[in-house]
Structure formats: C-alpha cells, structure tokens
Chain A
Amino acid sequence: MSRTRISSMAFASALAVGLMILPLFPALAQEKAALPTTTQAKPTMAKICGNCHTPEQGSFRGYFESVAYKTQSIQIRMDDAVEILSFDKTALKVQNVKAENPDEALRSIKAGKEVRVQYIEKDGKKFATLVVAKPAIKVALDKQLKTEDVEKLVAAGPEKGKYMLIDCRPAPKFMEGAIPTAINIPFPAFEKNIDKLPKDKNALIVYYCAGVT
C-alpha cells in the first residue's frame, strides 16, 4: 500500500515535469509498446453513442472494459477498437458511481458499462483525468403513464385524446399484437421516422415497449 502511494506520488511529479515516466513504470511502458500505435483513424466514440453525442477533443465515449491497478491503466472499447489509458489515481475523478474513493469507484464500474473518459496527452501517452459512468436511463415519475392513463387515452382515441402512441419494439413483435391506436417506430429506426412524429412540438407523445428492456 505504502509503495503504491510513493510511486503514485513520484508518478504525479514525473507528470508535472513531463519526464522520467518510462523508467519508473516499466510494466506500463511494456504494455503500451505491445499495443498498436494510435492513429487518427481510430474511433474516439462507440457507434451507438453517436445517436446522442458528437465526438469531442480529449475524450472517449465507449464501453468500460477493465481496470488494471498494477499498471494503473483502464481499457475502453469503442466497438472493435480498444484504448488503454493510464491514470494517476490521485488525480483521477470518477463520476456517477457510488464509491468513497477512486479505487473503489473504478472497481464498481461493470465491464460493458457506457462511460465517457476525459484525458490529457503527455509524451504521446494518454492519461485519464475523468471517468463518467452513463447514468441509468430513468424516466421521471411525472413523465410516466400508468395502465389506467393509457386506457383512458385509448378509449378516447388519438383525435379526441390528442395523443400519438408509439410502440418502440421491433416490427415483427408489433405485428403480433399491439396496444390499440399505436403506431410502430422501433427504437433503432428512430432517426429514419422523424417525419412520422407530430408537427406540433407540444403534442402528447406516449412511448411504450415490452416493459423494462
């Protein structure tokens, strides 16, 4: 434990002068050397993240793969591409996880969790400074409808009830039976079907799918 602390302090000062990192971290140096060299073509964002985000300088968006404390590095996957970033645990911040310290915080992120990682570059190496776990998609209670609410709308019909009911499941499932008055816009096809949404931005739109998926 004390050794780790000393080395991370040394690490921080080495970072500050921008020198002498490699001799202090032979294991890290080896691991980096074994990796394919980073090129501009390498993605900085997993495809799915592009649905809502645009790439930003100095950050990756992808799936958290693993953390290695020995080499003080984390792995992030962007679809086929893997990035390994070093970190200095005294400087690294981790957000959106329940944990007391960065150690625990990193450990608590499950493999495959969507994360955004901010980093700085020093001597051609990337050092993570911030890891933000994607918050669970929660629907605020005031935005949720219950079965009774939907029953009332359906009974009134889209014209009188002034709503659009959208089933987000895949088309083959929708075809096997759906809530009356619903139209089908599967989630992956959202962008292609924007023209099907009401012109009036204040119109009531109700989404549903096969429960919690």
Chain B
Amino acid sequence: MSPSSAGRAEKLGYTNIKVYHDGLPEWTKKNSMVLTPQFLKVAFMDKDIPHVLVDVRSGENAKKGFIKGAVTMPVAELAASIVKFPPKEKKPPIIIYDQNDGSDGKSAARALTAAGYTSVSVLTGGIDGWLKAGLPVQTGSLETNIVYVPKLRPGEMAIDDFKKIVAGAPADMLILDVRNRDESGAGMIKGAKNIPDEDILDRLAEIPKDKKIITYCSTGVRAEMAYHKLKEKGYAVQFVNAKVEINGDGKYTIERP
C-alpha cells in the first residue's frame, strides 16, 4: 500500500517522497508505537480485544486515578518484573502509560521492546491525556498480576476450524480469497473463490447469501476488512486472522500473525 501511495503522491508533483519499505513489522522490533486515549478506548476496550495495560507511575500516584484494567508496575521495578509478562511469543499488545507521556513511559517501553515484545505502545499524553479526553478513571488498588488470555477477535475463525473446512469442503460454506488477483493467481486455497477486498462491494452479486462465507488473505488484515463489509451486508461471515502462504498446487501453511 505504501509504494502505491508514494506513486500517487509523485504524480501530484511531490518531489521528495520516500518509502519506509520495511514498515511497521521492522519498526516494532526495536521501537514502540503510540496510540491516543480515544484509540485505546475504541480499538481495544470497546471491542474487548485482549491487551496488557500497564500503569508505570508510582503505586501511590496510580491509586489516585487509573484506567480500568491497568496493572501497576512502577517504571523503577519494571526491568525486574518482565517475567510477569505473558511470553513474548504470544505477541501480546502492551500499552503503557505514565503521568503525562514523559520519560517514564518511554523507558518502560524501551525495556519491553529490548526484552523482545513486538507490540508495545505508549499512550499519548499519559493519564493526563486520558483525563483531558474526558475518559473515566478508577481509584483504589490496582491489579499487580497480568492476566492475558488471547482470544479470537469478533468474527475471527479459529485456525483449526478453518483447516477442517478446507479439508471437508462443506457445500454450505464458501471460502473467499480476498487477496489481489496477482496473488491469488499464484495459488489459492482449494475450492476458494477470489474477489479482492477492494472489489467486494461491487461484486456482491457473485457471493451467495445462502452460504457461510469465510474470508482469508495473506496476513489477516484484508480478510478482516472484507469480513466487516460482508457482515454489514447481512452475510453470515467469518475471517481467518493469520498469515497464509499458498503454493501453486493449493498446499498451504497458516500461522498466527
């Protein structure tokens, strides 16, 4: 998506366009990300997406007002507390906040990325920013133990269930490959039909309403976008949130992103 955007900007006459081709997957290996209080609420809390929320202020400060679900882990103790975090292989999204987006949050984030966590974000503006956005806080004692239970996103199909469907090819289900045509042309899941995500709304007539639809792509991103489009149009639909690689003969490997 970034090379295409860059190409379009150049067509508009921009002369100094660069592309960070490695993109976010490389960035997060060494650096943390940011997200705003509103995004924390909308993208994680409202959707009930499992995450680890860490208050890195002193225990005393945190008690006076903290975000619901946060665990207390003062920055001074964080390095020693990394063992308390879920294994990095589970790739838990970790969100850190301090008082006002100062050095504490950043150094906590650095410690976690250095320990191998690849989805570490700092809350923009810290708890002050959260309050300024008019969002609620709680008072009293905070959790000290992290509970992180990965679970399926809304509409997500478990990988094992997907494998069974591919193997069994039930007549009442349709596997929809929502990758671009040059990708699907190089090999698709057996029995799948290709409609690129961006074409779906124009090609609804080709998607049967009486079948359950399961979408997949190469990373899970487009599959989820397609899921939302089809769900809104009244389809019974689920998506595969996984990295899928397919050979020309239809053999495939699938793993969690």
Contact = CB atoms under 8 A, between A and B. Distances in A.
A79 B39 contact: no
B31 interface: yes
A8 to B, nearest CB: 27
A150 B20 contact: yes
Nearest to B224: A172
B140 interface: no
B168 interface: no
Interface stretch (B69-77, B131-139, B143-151, B198-206): B198-206
A26 interface: no
Contacts of A166: 5
A188 B221 CA distance: 14
A4 interface: no
Interface in A132-173: 137-139, 143-147, 149-151, 154, 166-170, 172-173
A206 B18 contact: yes
B34 A180 contact: yes
Contacts of B8: 51-52, 190
A166 B6 CA distance: 10
Given A145-B18, A205-B16, A210-B221, A79 B203 contact: yes
Contacts of B247: none
A190 B3 CA distance: 12
Interface in A76-123: 79-80, 110-114
A112 B180 contact: yes
For chain B, the bracket of interface size reads: 35 or more
B18 A110 contact: no
B14 A187 contact: no
Contact of A207 (B17, B44, B202): B17
Interface stretch (A12-20, A28-36, A194-202): A194-202
B18 A112 contact: no
Interface in B63-83: none
Contacts of B26: 147, 211
Contacts of A190: 5, 8
A139 B221 contact: no
B33 A177 contact: yes
Contacts of A172: 43, 224
Interface in B180-216: 180-186, 194, 198-199, 202-203
Interface of A: 47-48, 51-52, 63, 79-80, 110-114, 137-139, 143-147, 149-151, 154, 166-170, 172-173, 175-180, 185-188, 190, 194, 197, 201-213
Given A79-B203, A111-B185, A177-B93, 14 more contacts: A52-B11, A113-B181, A146-B22, A147-B30, A169-B24, A173-B221, A175-B39, A188-B198, A206-B20, A207-B2, A207-B18, A208-B24, A210-B24, A211-B25
